Amino acid sequence: MRLRHVKNAEERLQVDNNKYYIPNPKDYKGKWHDVFKNNNPIHLEIGCGKGQFITTLAKNNPDVNYIAVEKFNSVLLRCLEKILEMEEKPENLVIMCLDAEYLCEYFADGEIDKLYLNFSDPWPKARHAKRRLTSEIFLNQYKKILTKEGTIEFKTDNRGLFEYSLESFNENNFSIYNISLDLHNDLEKYPNNITTEFEDKWSKLGPIYHLEAKRK
């Protein structure tokens, strides 16, 4: 699917100096609790899309701090618009535009308590495997920024990516649990599942795969 470019997206993200968008996230490495002005756990979503998942989490869990990351500012702008449209705007959510390849430049060791990977690009060609967000390159970064007890929650509609991820987590010293091969037909087991916009659309066409992982 072609990404729709939004004119002046960066300028629009900074409209009225809103408190949700962080334009210089490197400045806060190791200081994210200061941003939220509390010591609550910090959860990070990589690839937040239009923001339905992360805004719902923030609304439902006021005692958790949320950071939403998106590579493309045109997409991140849609997330900001969703936040600004909320009747009760969250005090526990910030968003930023960055490439997950450089996470360790933005977050200190052990700074994140939970990480969400929702419907990441599957990069189906073998030569692109290193770009997958569950490849060894990325998992090594997650190990650094997650707390000792930190967890990763992963969802995808792509069977190939799911099978690859199972193998990758296992090979990179993660314990895997809460596996589902058809999440939306298994909601008695996962009653608190929060959906993304993509998930709402594609779950009607095929299974959603789910797992959680924790460093051994």
- For residue 212, give Cα distances in angstroms to 89, 124, 126, 154, 206: 29, 22, 24, 6, 20
Beta bridge pairs of residue 98: none
Q: At residue 155, what is the residue type? A: K
Identify whether 63 is a catalytic site residue: no
From residue 190, give the alpha-carbon distance in Å to each of 95, 99, 179, 211. 27, 30, 10, 11
Write down the H helix ranges in 71-110: 73-85
Q: Which amino acid is at 182?
A: D
Residue 115: CA count within 13 A, CB half-sphere: 30
Q: What is 94-125 written as a DSSP string? A: EEEE--GGGGGGTS-TT-EEEEEEES-----S
Give me the catalytic one of 109, 121, 182, 186.
Answer: 121
Which residues belong to the active site? Answer: 121
